[in-house]
Amino acid sequence: MITTKQRAYLRSLANSIEPTTQIGKFGIGDTVIDTVEKALEAHELIKLTILETCPETPKEAMVSLCEALNCEAVQVIGRKVVIYRQSSKIENRKIVLPRK
């Protein structure tokens, strides 16, 4: 669980990144989960776009992804969702969170 201060830090980092994945009319399936899993492992902090055709709202999609991937929800703004999970590989760890 990340603290409010850590969440604010991650939100500031997310401002400068582009969305890596779009979730469309098929919603969150195995393919999307695999794609997001690989992106989280490589980048730790990712931004997703939830298209209008997605059967879930952006908040519901974020909750589903966080449960499926054991990651942290950072923010939802409009149709953009930001999630974070520390990489399991030490060489991929780029983000150092502020102390609690």
Dihedral of CA 71/40/55/51: which sign? positive
Parallel/antiparallel/unpaired status of strands 45-50 and 21-23: parallel
pTM here is 0.91
Task: Name the nearest CA neighbour of 85 among 77, 93, 49.
Answer: 93
Is domain 4-86 in CATH 3.30.110.60, yes or no? yes
Q: Quick one: DSSP state of residue 32?
A: H
Q: What is the pLDDT along the chain (100 residues), one digit of tens a residue?
A: 899 999 999 999 999 999 999 999 999 999 999 999 999 999 999 999 999 999 999 999 999 999 999 999 999 999 999 999 999 988 889 999 998 6
In the chain, where are the structural domains located?
A: 4-86
What DSSP character marks residue 90?
Answer: G
Residues 6+ apart with CB under 8 A from 26: 32
